[in-house]
């Protein structure tokens, strides 16, 4: 019995004395864990960055102001927009009091009667004028050209030129859009918001924070969330022929909150972001009966050469530190961990060794369990 009690005392002494402080923060590792870490090639303490969360290195995330904004430049672009005729479009030319100049149709049933289709070279064939290149010109410019040409045959010709079938210019929508089909540009200007609405809107899993508009090989990233949900028209742009709008699937963004909290859980990150205080609140706070409020850790991946992970540490035993928690922005796949309070470890230790006092041969099992609790 005396030998058993001595073994328990030695076990406790081993556990307490084996705790060592990791440089840079209040994280304790046992000699056993440190040795195992050094022997395991996957990760060592030298591959971890340790940082304390303080007022010196914590700033509230600069959140982009989201509210309705007017886009005066875009409004002017829409007013100035003029459709330019292209190959495949069909024109209708009406000369008053000269119905003989109407095109009475073609063999192609898709071409409306009285229409002139622009061929691949950008030309139409018009009576008396012959081949006329119209690609890249507005209907107003085409009318002026025809007016001058017909003046040699008709005194003071009065005419109207309109596009009766639009086919030359398209906008392409891909990804998480309800109707991912090409949109044919017509007489009216089309903005990004117009295009999304014409395509039936976005799907529920669309990533609105960062859509991509590709034009002539150049990529522009746009916050469609701010445009659609806050009316920030600064994110709206005038679209052009050949533009591609791609809306990617939204990858779930989350933070794991583990350890001594009321409800360990995965907390989603909203488009507005998530800070440490909000994550703890979502998990219904720290478990006051079991948590060590001075041992709050945030673990995330490190991209520094030679490092694998970053560990940020915060002492919340002083509630004023919640100000820092509210300023510390979490990132996707961060892990928040709240350690056990020392008294909890002691109680667990007692619960393990108590049965051993009456059960012969249980000393080794109790020793192993005690070491795992304190480390």
131: in domain: yes
Residues 206 and 347 in one domain: no
- The tally of domains found in the chain comes to 3
What is the C-alpha to C-alpha distance for residues 315 and 53, in angstroms, rounded to an integer?
8
Both tokens of residue 31?
A: 């000699």
301: in domain: yes
Sign, CA dihedral 288-289-294-297, equals: negative
Residues 268 and 206 in one domain: no
Beta bridge partners, 52, equal 313
Domain boundary among 165, 190, 213: 165
Residues 278 and 339 in one domain: yes
Domain boundary among 204, 227, 247: 247
What is the C-alpha to C-alpha distance for residues 89 and 120, in angstroms, rounded to an integer?
10
Residue 351 confidence class, pLDDT cut points 50, 70, 90 = low
Enclosing domain of residue 194: 72-81+170-247
Residues 77 and 198 in one domain: yes
Q: Report CA-CA distances (Å) from 48 to 45, 51, 292.
A: 5, 10, 22
Angle between helices 342-356 and 2-17 (to 10 degrees): 160
pLDDT digits (tens, 9 = 90+) for 67-97: 899 999 999 999 999 999 999 999 999 888 8
pLDDT digits (tens, 9 = 90+) for 8-36: 332 333 333 333 333 333 445 556 555 65
Residues 261 and 143 in one domain: no
67: in domain: no
Domain boundary among 115, 136, 165: 165
DSSP annotation of 45 reads G
Query: Which residue carries 């995965």 as its tokens?
Result: 266
Residues 10 and 111 in one domain: no
DSSP 136-191: T--HHHHHHHHHHHHTTTSSS--EEEEEEE--S-EEEEEESBSS--PEEP-SS--B
Residues 135 and 199 in one domain: no
Task: List the CATH number of the domain containing 184.
Answer: 3.10.560.10
Residues 94 and 134 in one domain: yes
pLDDT digits (tens, 9 = 90+) for 189-247: 999 999 999 999 999 889 988 899 999 999 999 999 999 999 999 999 999 999 999 99
Contact 255, 334 (CB under 8 A): yes
């Amino acid at each position: 019995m005396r030998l058993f009690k001595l073994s328990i005392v030695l076990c406790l002494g081993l556990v307490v004395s084996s705790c060592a402080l990791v440089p840079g923060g209040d994280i304790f590792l046992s000699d056993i864990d440190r040795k195992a870490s050094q022997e395991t090639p996957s990760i060592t303490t030298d591959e971890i960055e340790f940082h304390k969360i303080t007022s010196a290195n914590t700033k509230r995330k600069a959140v982009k102001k989201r509210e309705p904004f007017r886009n005066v430049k875009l409004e002017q672009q829409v007013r100035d927009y003029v459709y330019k005729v292209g190959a495949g479009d069909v024109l209708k030319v009406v000369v008053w009091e000269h119905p003989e100049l109407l095109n009475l149709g073609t063999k192609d049933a898709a071409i409306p009667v009285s229409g002139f289709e622009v061929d691949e070279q950008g030309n139409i064939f018009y009576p008396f004028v012959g081949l006329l290149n119209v690609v890249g010109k507005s209907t107003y410019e085409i009318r002026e050209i025809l007016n001058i040409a017909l003046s040699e045959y008709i005194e003071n010709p009065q005419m109207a030129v309109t596009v009766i079938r639009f086919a030359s210019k398209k906008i392409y929508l891909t990804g998480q859009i309800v109707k991912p089909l090409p949109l044919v540009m017509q007489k009216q200007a089309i903005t990004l918001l117009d295009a999304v609405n014409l395509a039936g809107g976005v799907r529920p899993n669309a990533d609105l924070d960062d859509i991509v508009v590709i034009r002539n090989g150049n990529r522009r990233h746009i916050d469609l969330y701010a445009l659609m949900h806050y009316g920030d028209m600064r994110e709206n742009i005038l679209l052009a022929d050949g533009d591609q709008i791609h809306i990617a699937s939204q990858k779930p963004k989350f933070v794991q909150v583990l350890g001594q909290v009321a409800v360990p859980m995965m907390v989603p990150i909203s488009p507005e972001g998530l800070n440490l205080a909000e994550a703890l609140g979502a998990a219904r706070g720290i478990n006051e009966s079991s948590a060590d409020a001075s041992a709050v850790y945030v673990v995330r991946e490190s991209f520094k050469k030679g490092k694998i992970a970053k560990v940020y540490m915060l002492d919340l035993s002083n509630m004023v530190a919640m100000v820092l928690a509210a300023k510390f922005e979490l990132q996707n796949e961060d892990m928040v961990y709240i350690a056990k309070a020392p008294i909890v470890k002691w109680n667990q230790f007692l619960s393990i060794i108590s049965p051993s006092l009456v059960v012969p041969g249980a000393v080794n099992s109790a020793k192993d369990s005690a070491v795992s609790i304190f480390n």
